[in-house]
Structure 1
Amino acid sequence: MSATSCLLSQDQFLCSICLDVFTSPVTLPCGHNFCKSCITQDWKINRKCKCPVCKKIFEVITELHVNTFISEMAAQFKEAAGKEASQIAQPGEVLCGVCTRARLKASKSCLVCLSSYCESHLQRHREVAGLKKHRLTEPLDNLEDRVCSTHNELMELYCRTDQVCVCHCCSETDHQSHDIVLLSEESSERRSQLGDMKAELQLMVHERELRIEELRRSERLSGEAAGKAVAAGSQVFSALIQFVESGLKRLTEQIRQKQETAAGQAESLIQELTQEISELMNRREEVEQLSRSDDHLRLLQSVSPLKASLPTKNCRDVSLHQLSYEGTVARAVAQLKDTLSQEAEELLRAELKRVQQYAVDVTLDPKTAHPKLILSEDRKEVTHSNTVGNLPDGPQRFSFCVVVLAQQSFSSGRSYYEVEVKGKTKWDLGVISESANRRGQVTSCPGAGYWILQLRNGNEYVALADPDVLLSVKSQPQRVGVFVDYEEGLVSFYNVDSADIIYSFTGCCFTENLRPFFSPCFNDDGHNSAPLRISAIHKT
């Protein structure tokens, strides 16, 4: 009995009680079969001999005999089913291309039929004369990709010249003079390369894991810095709110005291006038009585004293000075403004101090200097001369603009340096991209890789932001601080003396190195002869 036939008739070998293959099967008089233990247990529970299928009741059956034929058939079925189960394809194994129900694993692959067969379906290749000539190999998947489409042969060779898999016929024809090796040999070499690739991939994974840790650390530090900034801002603005509330309290108290003084004066005058009214009413009563008296002597004697006792003060002269509160609020606001200005100045100096911690040492690069610029020996100072120096020309040197760059460049992080501009009426300062144009007339704007602040005519400060921004500066700086935050895309210019921010380029997208930029401009017949000097950082 074949495994396939067993699978097709498996219902015939199942006990209807336990639904499993018969164990010691017995046949009832009605013709139905059951496991001996199953039917015995069923009758014991129901206390009657009854067929579970047709419900026919029998007289007491004292002994049940095992049906040897069905028992042998069930045993063969179990054996065939177990054998077939062992042939079921596991993940990764090649499947038989003919099996339609249970996909058995293939025993061989045919290079002519381009299909794989299990032991059962392989029988025809072993019995039919025409199929016996077919070439069988160990099971292979994707046979269509493994067989040469031209010669219908298995591709067992590799052409290193054309880097393709070929069969033996191909190696003797189209690839005759090429470097041909066995697939196994090439595979072994590629496997070695895969080992190196695996190590390289592992290194790349490790580098990215380290990068993730660095990013998380940066994020954590950024969060801590943000928290500190919020705390500092809360402290500052809480102090400002206290200043405002204190100013309002003082103003309210001053107005209240002034009003209370005026109210006291008014009350005193009112009491005085009330007393006079009382006295005048008494005199009026006396005058009334005296006018009705017939005693001429008493009348004459009383008129003069009564007249003399009348108040001499004119009540029209009694008045309260109307208080004025004009300017009270303005004076309080002015005082508060002075206080806030002092506080703001302290905050600005604190901010500048934080920026100055990123100070870097900057020196001038003579290879970039315009021929009319003179650099000091320490390369910290630059001045303009009317005489052209005998210098070799090169792509790094500015040919038209009187500019020199720093030797150093910035490609990440934060950097800060200061430049002394005392005594100058013109200058340009800032940073430029490494690849920004230096030849001929240059366009100074962020789009061209220039982030520049300039002074013109002694008091006109302009940010070359395209369009240019004319700036309002409280006081002329003697030293200018330049701060660059590469990742933040920020270039800020500080008045070091007042700690004010003159201007900031924000939202910049830096993709290459940045070089500090210095232009003392023309000396204007001595009116602008003072040098630009990179100064040491004296923290405010």
Structure 2
Amino acid sequence: MTYQALISEEDLHCPVCFELFTNPVVLECSHSFCRTCIDNCWNGQFTRICPVCRASCLSERPPANLALRNIVENFRVRQQSNVEEPEQSSQESQERESTQSPEERCATHGKRFFFFCEDDQETLCTVCQYSKRHKDHQLIPLEEAAKELKEMVRLSLWPLKEDLMTFQTQKDECLKTTQHIKEQTRLTRDLIKKDFEQLRHFLRLEEAARISMLEDEAEMKNEIMQEKLEDLSNKIVSLSNTIQNRETDLEREDIQFLQAYKSYTDSVIYSPQDSNVLAPDSLIDVSKHVGNLKFKVWEKMLGQVQYSPIIMDPNTAAKWLKLSENLTSVHYRDLQSDIPNNPERFDLCVCVLGNETLSAGMHCWEVEVGNKTKWDLGVVKESVSRQGILNVNSESGFWALALREGGQYCASTKPWTKLYVKRKPHRIRVCLNNNNKELSFYDPFDMTHIYTFSHLPTKKLIPFFSPCVSDQGSNTEPLRIVPVKVAVTITPELAD
């Protein structure tokens, strides 16, 4: 029985009377009904529609569905033959029921779903469609609703997939940032250890030198004391012998005593007043060794310490720039792809900023430019954009002095102002007077004035450096902030 494998028992029931088809007919929409059932549905109706899909039917006399009628008749015959085998029939029925998912049937009526209510977003069986709850609702066939909604869901997946890709990209960036933080921590820890080891090495050498000075002084003065001890010991022996001899002479006869007495006047008698045991500076000069010791060591340490008035911020440096360990030098190099795209970093402009906003007052620093053929130096507004291609001019928040190939110096006005410089400077002094809102550039060799920006619109300014790109081995030198000399000034405090 092939129809058993292809058609379920439910498909052999009329969707109107829910009984096995009797004289089934087929409509243009391919749905089948008992001829009596469809006639009763259309009785008194001006428009003939399919009770299942609501499609219009033009035929007044639908044709008989002969194939379905034969299948139904065969099914009836088989049902009658299976009456003698109820247990087997019951088992087969249960097996057929088990192959149908509960989700495919109406929980209320136990019928298969045929419709979808667009108003309630629910699937309906043929009984549910006539309920008052769904009266005047928009009902469409289940297949049509599924096709339409699947397309809508399919289209809605595109923005979700784009969001997923965005989140994945952000996750990758976070992972890269986490790795960069670990690398920054490791390098910074190494630099801290290195600087403190240098300080400790200096202190160890200074400690050893001062202890050596103390021991040298102690050795010298101990030698002096040893010489005095030896001299005093000799004098004690000599004087003791003299006393003993004279006491012996006192025991002799008068003639013998008088004969010996003459030698008393020729002998030299040492007097304690002839030599002082403790001469000046005999003791250790403690005050020389420990007086203001920490200050003297700190003062001497200044020769080992460098101070830079401006420090570069590596978190703002473009990915093509490499900073020195002490953050005072920058040069162009190959792209470093492992550096994260943090918001404060320049992404296209090859430049780096100072580590802090300059406050009110006067600020000066010198930058060694050497024989570079291109560079930019100056200050930028704190709120300047750091993303994309930047317009380096005063209207965009950049106040800078620039050198371009061909030896042309320019001030970053809008448009740029070409400048004449009588001698190519190897250093540039930048002076920011925040009180007067002026920015000036000088050649520190003879303090020749190069250019001054006046009337700066804000005091929230940050130092700005750009070594520019290197091209075929040229312009490879770094920009280096020149350290300043550190001096100690002692100001006496007057008592109240």
TM-score range, shorter chain: 0.3 to 0.5
Which protein has greater RCO, CA pairs closer than 8 Å, 6+ apart?
2
Normalised by the length of structure 2, the TM-score is 0.44
Normalised by the length of structure 1, the TM-score is 0.41
